[in-house]
Each structure stands twice: as C-alpha cells, then as structure tokens.
Structure 1
Amino acid sequence: MPLLIDILGMLGAGVLVYAYAMLSMRRLSGDGLAYQLLNLGGAIALMINSAVHLAWPSALLNLVWCGIGILAVRRVMATRPWRREV
C-alpha cells in the first residue's frame, strides 16, 4: 500500500507539472476544461499522498487547491457554449 500511495503522489506531481508546462507553452488554455481537470486531478493525488504521510501543511495546501479547482471546473462547465437549457 505505501508504494501505491507514493506512486499516486508522483503521478499527481507529474500531472501538475505537465499541466503547467502545457499552459506555459500555450498548448492548453488556463480557462479550458482540460487544464482545470489536470490541475484538479494532480491536487487530489498529492492531497491523498500528503495526508497518508502526515504532511499536513502540504495536505492542507492541496485541499485548498482542490477547492479552487472544483470552483474553476464548475465555472468552465457553466459557461460552456454547448450547454443545454432545460
């Protein structure tokens, strides 16, 4: 189990770095759903890893990061042009 948690943390860090690199190279838009989902996924993985390893400052930081990510994903989803009104 500890190995899986470490792998999860490494994947989360990799996803965050990948998202930032794609944003910096203008391959992803900061307002886009793909960037926001990558950011949210990486933060969730790092939050779990940090909590399991009792790294509470990092876990709290990633909890806040997840909250921001959830709000950003909701905003992107709410403003998407293909959204149907019911």
Structure 2
Amino acid sequence: MPVTLDAIVMFLGWIGAAAGVVAYAMVSRGRWAASSAPFQLTNLTAAGLMGMVAAANGVWPSVAANLVWIVIGTQAIVVLVRARARRRTAAEAVAAVTPTVAAVAPAVAVGTVTAPAPAPEAVLADADTSPREVGLAA
C-alpha cells in the first residue's frame, strides 16, 4: 500500500493533536509553567501541525485560529528568549563585579566550623521565572 500525501498530513495532524494534549496536561498537572519554553514550543508545534491539516482540508476558520495561535506562541517565545538573555547579561555583570562569594561575604559560625555567609541571589534560575517577569501574565 503506497503512502499518500493525505496519509502523511493526517499523521502529522495526529502528532499536533497529541502535542496540544501533552502541553495542556503538563500545565494542568503543574509539571510545566504556562510561561515556560517547553509549554510554548509544544503549543507552537501543535498549532502549526493542526493548522496545516486544517489548510489541507479547507477548514479555514480553524486555519485562522491556528495562525493566531502561532503568532501568540511566537511572541511568547521571543519574550522568553529576551528575558533569558537579560538574566544572562545580569549574571555576567554580577560575576564581573563580585570576585568570589568567600572573599566578599562575612563568615558565619556554624557549630564549630566557620563558613561564608550565603550571597543573595542576583538572578532567578530559568525554572523560577515568574510570568510577570517575562511579560506573559495578564
């Protein structure tokens, strides 16, 4: 049985549908944040694949909705990339100014051992980004 273009498009549509369900499930279960790159990339993939299937079948309202979904997802990815670049630049600036934590932080006695005091965190880790920080919150 030969593989037809229709079969390939349908297969890609199923992949897009599965990607959309995975993204929704991961956010609903708290495994991904709505402002995370994995969620946004999975949603973008789902919209692109399902939009392609809709276009191949002439379902133009769905094509329009998926194009809007793609624009929103692309904007979210751009915002995430810019926020990550700002954090990286800030971290490099802090590292350039602060030679070492041990040299700057005062010592704190811990039992009989003296340890340097923990330095305040200058930059949030990627996973700890709040939606407002990256501009995705309503």
Q: TM-score, normalised by structure 2?
A: 0.59
Paired with 2:30 and 2:11, the residues of 1 have a C-alpha distance of: 28
Q: How is 1:46-61 mapped onto 2 (pairs within 5 angstroms)? A: 46-61=50-65
Q: What is the aligned length?
A: 85
**Hey, which bits of structure 1, 4+ residues long, moved more than 6 A?**
none
Cα RMSD between the aligned structures? 1.5
Higher radius of gyration, 1 or 2? 2
Give the number of the structure whose residues are more often strand, by fraction.
2
Higher relative contact order (CA 8 A, sep 6+): 1
SS at match of 2:54: helix
* Structure 1 segment 7-86 matched on structure 2, within 5 A: 7-80=11-84, 81-82=87-88
Structure 1 position 83, deviation (Å): 5.6
Match of 2:132 in 1: none
The structure carrying a bigger helix percent of its residues is 1
Code of the aligned partner of 2:88: W
Distance 2:89 2:21 in 1: 30
Same amino acid, percent of matched pairs? 34
Q: Does 1:2 align with 2:2?
A: no
Query: Unaligned stretches of 5+ in structure 1?
Result: none
Structure 2: give runs of 5+ residues left out of the alignment: 93-138
